[in-house]
């Protein structure tokens, strides 16, 4: 008979492993179709998306003629620490209201304090696919040297003369959104499909897109082996199929079953935040099944309340 982890268990992998599993409490799961993107839950996030889309529409009708409007402080485009920026797809900054002297710079190699290549992330977001999405990184507010987490919405806009730009605006220390998780899980699944297990190193790299705020992407084999977990690497390589919480609820088995049967969906449980293995917090996680080198795997990411 399998013993619940948290009582005596034959495998000892240190405090982190024991704490992670012992305190996890899986709640009833719900499923969302893989082709559905959750609506934004926070008005502040919706407002950023609406602002950027409106600016993109203005560029598509007026071209560069609208750029001076974006620089007017107190206008709908520039209020306090919320502003628009515009680049071309070569990484040249065209509009940057907080610091006009540093417009016309090439920022393709721009990085945040943690080494995230945000210049290339901005351009890639606008260039690829439908040309829109979120980029998460650490940045300082205008006139404040201390960087904080920022989430920026990027969209592509083509002016009447055929020039293509990226338009962006973001929020400092924003609320987390389910849509952020779905975007990153889908991106990770696509990367895994293209690169196979070679993608694991990117998923572990905290300088890449997949690690932001206290969110990270994990990968589990269909048999329950934790393959990638950058926040808690000590549990990589462990088979958690039979792992149970203190109430005897199966953990990994449940979300694997959900992904097998539904393709993707949401699970809710208690799980430690990165860097705080002794303090589990309520977490909502999105999981999706993906084929990697011909093998089914589960990729997921979650957010804490």
Task: Say whether 171 sits in a helix, a strand or coil.
Answer: strand
Do 62 and 77 meet the contact criterion of CB atoms below 8 Å apart? no
Coarse DSSP helix, strand, coil percentages of the chain, rounded to the nearest 5 percent: 30, 30, 40
Do 49 and 42 meet the contact criterion of CB atoms below 8 Å apart? no
- What's the sign of the alpha-carbon dihedral 104, 109, 113, 118? positive
Give me the DSSP letters along 79-94: BTTB--EEEETTSBEE
Q: What is the mean pLDDT of residues 156-183?
A: 98
Beta-bridge partners for 286: 266, 301
- What's the sign of the alpha-carbon dihedral 10, 13, 15, 16? negative
Beta-bridge partners for 250: 244
* Residue with tokens 């002297």, as numbered in its chain: 101
Q: What is the mean pLDDT of residues 119-142?
A: 96
Q: What percent of the chain has pLDDT over 70?
A: 86
- Provide the CB-side half-sphere exposure for 179 (13 A, CA): 16
Contacts of 273 (CB under 8 A, 6+ apart): 214, 279, 281, 304
9: tokens are: 């268990």
pLDDT at 52 over 90: yes
pLDDT at 162 over 70: yes
The torsion angles phi and psi of 270, rounded to 5 degrees, stand at -95, 135
What does pLDDT average to over the chain? 88
Q: What is the mean pLDDT of residues 255-278?
A: 90
> What gap in Å lies between CA 122 and CA 120, rounded to an integer?
5
The predicted structure's pLDDT at residue 245: 60
pLDDT at 207 over 60: yes
Do 259 and 265 meet the contact criterion of CB atoms below 8 Å apart? yes
72: tokens are: 């007017």
Do 235 and 13 meet the contact criterion of CB atoms below 8 Å apart? yes
Of 87, 124, 81, the C-alpha closest to 105 is 87
Do 177 and 38 meet the contact criterion of CB atoms below 8 Å apart? yes
Give the model confidence (pLDDT) of 5-48 as tens digits: 333 333 334 444 544 544 443 444 444 444 567 899 999 999 99
Could you say which DSSP state residue 4 is in?
A: P
The predicted structure's pLDDT at residue 15: 41
239: tokens are: 């088979």
The predicted structure's pLDDT at residue 249: 65
> Beta strands of the chain (E only): which ranges?
85-88, 93-95, 132-140, 147-158, 164-172, 211-212, 215-221, 226-228, 264-273, 276-292, 295-304
The predicted structure's pLDDT at residue 175: 96
Provide the pLDDT confidence category of residue 116 given band limits of 50, 70 and 90. very high
Instruction: Show the domains of the chain with their CATH numbers.
Output: 14-36+177-304 (3.30.450.20), 43-172 (3.30.450.20)
User: Burial, 181: exposed, middle or buried (Cβ in 10 Å; 0-12, 13-18, 19+)?
Assistant: buried
66: tokens are: 């609208």
């Amino acid at each position: 008979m399998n013993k619940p982890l948290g009582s005596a268990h034959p495998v000892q992998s240190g405090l982190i492993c024991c704490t992670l599993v012992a305190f996890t409490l899986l709640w009833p799961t719900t499923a969302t179709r893989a082709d559905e993107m959750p609506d934004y839950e926070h008005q502040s996030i919706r407002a950023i998306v609406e602002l950027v889309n409106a600016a993109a529409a203005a560029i598509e009708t007026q071209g560069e003629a609208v750029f001076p409007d974006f620089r007017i402080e107190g206008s709908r485009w520039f209020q306090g620490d919320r502003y628009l920026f515009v680049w071309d797809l070569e990484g040249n900054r065209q509009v940057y209201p907080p610091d006009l002297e540093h417009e016309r710079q090439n920022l393709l190699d721009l990085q945040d304090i943690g080494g995230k290549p945000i210049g290339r992330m901005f351009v890639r977001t606008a260039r690829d696919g439908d040309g829109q999405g979120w980029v998460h990184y650490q940045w300082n507010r205008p006139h404040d040297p201390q960087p904080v987490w920022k989430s920026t919405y990027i969209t592509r806009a083509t002016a009447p003369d055929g020039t293509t730009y990226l338009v962006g605006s973001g929020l400092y220390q924003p609320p987390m959104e389910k849509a952020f998780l779905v975007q990153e899980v889908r991106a990770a699944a696509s990367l895994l499909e293209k690169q196979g297990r070679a993608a694991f190193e990117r998923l572990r790299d905290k300088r890449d897109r997949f690690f932001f705020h206290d969110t990270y992407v994990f990968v589990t084999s269909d048999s329950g082996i934790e393959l990638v977990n950058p926040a808690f690497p000590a549990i990589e390589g462990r088979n958690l199929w039979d792992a149970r919480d203190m109430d005897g609820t199966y953990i990994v088995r449940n979300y694997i079953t959900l992904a097998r049967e539904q393709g993707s969906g949401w699970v809710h449980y208690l799980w430690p935040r990165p860097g705080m293995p002794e303090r589990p917090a309520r977490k909502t996680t999105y999981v999706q099944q993906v084929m990697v080198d011909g093998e089914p795997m589960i990729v997921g990411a979650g957010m804490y309340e």
